[in-house]
Structure formats: structure tokens, C-alpha cells
Amino acid sequence: MQTQRLRIAIQKKGRLSTECKDLLKRCGVKFNLIGERLVVHCENMPIDLLLVRDDDIPGLIMDGVVDLGFIGENELEEVGLERAARNEPSNYTMLRRLDFGGCRLSIAIDKDEAYNGPQDLQGKRIATTYPQLVKRYMSEQGVTFSTCMLNGSVEVAPRAGLADAICDLVSTGATLEANGLKEVEVILQSKAVLIQRSGDFSADKQALIERLLTRMQGVIQAKE
């Protein structure tokens, strides 16, 4: 069900939320976030913001339910692989990479354990929220492993005896250190990106997207 208004999905609450809202505001998009509303109508442009969990954004774009979305590449790639494995559409257009949300997806093990390369992970159980990305990396390395799927508290899994290693998002490494872990492989470098659904757009929507992108370019350049 397509609407006249451009639908943009952003994370409701979390690490990408504030920067996405700031970026849109700097691009001249005016909106007022009140309460727990899922859809917010912008006041000065034909744009609706959809405030959702970041996990839902790739699917909303790939199903063509929203027009644009801000999402971390880690989540985008994971959902893309998962959907492709289920033969569901996983296409989208990358409009631009952004200058926030930087992190890396890394494998970490007990800090006292020896490590000489991916072969040392052979037969190990790896706790992660990103099983598809781990699977892709491990099969590229020719190493077999098992997973322990966790949506939170991944970093405590080894200490809790649930897994031998973890694969999780890292920015400073402080969380790993606090849990007695050391980073041994970086499997993905990630930033926030702006993506667009596949398919046709009305001339008006297309023009609005181009206007937003031009403004975004200006805003990002001014920051550099």
C-alpha cells in the first residue's frame, strides 16, 4: 500500500535514533515527536516518519512497505542474508553511507586463551546476535562451528558457560575488557546507511528524495 507521502523508517530509541533525527532536522524536515506514536507526520514536507526497532527496518524496506530507512550495515547485511536464505526478497538501493553509527562486528575469546587464527575456532560454540554474518565469515575461513543465538547479554555467554567465544558489536572494546574477553577477528566494519526500497516512485516522491539527498550532502560536508 503506497502513500503519496514519503515514508522514512528510523530507529525509535537507541544508538542511531538521535543522530537520524538530528540529520533530518538539519535537512529542514520539521517534526514533533510526541509520546509513543509509531507514525509522525512532518509539518513542512510530505513526509511520514516511522519510529520502529532497528531490527524491523531492513525488512520494511525489502518488503517495499517504507520508502527510505536509516540502518546500521550490520543489521542490514544480517537481515539480507537471512531473507535470501528463506527465498524472500532482499533487495534495496544504497543511497549513502553516513558519518555515524560506526562500530565493528568482532569475534572475541577468553583473554587468557591462546589464539593463532580462525582455525583455532574449529568446533567452538559462538554466541551471537548475527548468526548469518558469522556463518558467512566462518565458511569463507573453512572453519566449522556451532552457534548460541542471543539477542542480549552476548558478552557474558562465555563466563556463563553458554559458549566458547562471542561475535558482537564493538566500538571501544571496554565491554569486552570488562568481561575478560579479547578481540581476535573483525568480521565486519559498519556504519549507519540510508537505503531505499526497490521499485518505482512517483515523480513527486523522486524529486523529494533528490532534494533530501542534496541537503544531506550539504549538511554532512558542513560538518567535515
CA-closest candidate to residue 66, choices 34, 27, 92, 97: 92
Which among 42-50, 51-59, 133-141, 142-150 is the span making contact with ligand ATP, rule CB under 6 A?
Answer: 51-59
**Min separation Cβ 44 and Zn ion, Å:** 30
Q: Which does 72 bind (CB under 5 to 8 A by kind): ligand ATP, Zn ion, none?
A: ligand ATP
C-beta of 177 vs 210, nearer to ligand ATP: 177
Which of the residues 82 through 111 are near ligand ATP (CB under 6 A)? Answer: 101, 103
Which CB atom, from 30 or from 96, has the smaller least distance to ligand ATP?
96
Q: Which is nearer to ligand ATP, 22 or 43 (CB)?
A: 22
Q: Name which position in 3, 14, 33, 123 contacts ligand ATP (CB under 6 A).
A: 14
Using CB under 6 A, which residues numbered 148 to 187 contact ligand ATP? Answer: 169, 171
Q: 164 or 168, CB closer to Zn ion? A: 168
Distance CA 129, CA 147 (A): 10
Nearer to ligand ATP (CB atom), residue 44 or residue 172:
172
Q: Is 190 in the site for ligand ATP (CB under 6 A)?
A: yes
Q: Could you tell me which residues come within 8 angstroms of residue 192 by beta carbon, excluding any fewer than 6 positions away?
A: 16, 19, 20, 70, 71, 72, 73, 97, 98, 100, 101
* 45 part of the interface to ligand ATP, by CB under 6 A: no
The contacts of residue 51 (CB under 8 Å, 6+ apart) are: 10, 11, 12, 33, 37, 38, 39, 40
- Taking CB under 5 A as the criterion, the residue among 23, 29, 42, 54 binding Zn ion is 54
Task: Report the C-alpha dihedral over residues 175, 177, 179, 184, rounded to 10 degrees.
Answer: 100
Using rule CB under 5 A, residue 82 touches Zn ion: no
Q: Which residues bind ligand ATP (CB under 6 A)?
A: 11, 14-16, 53-55, 72, 74-75, 101, 103, 169, 171, 190
Q: Which residues bind Zn ion (CB under 5 A)?
A: 54-55
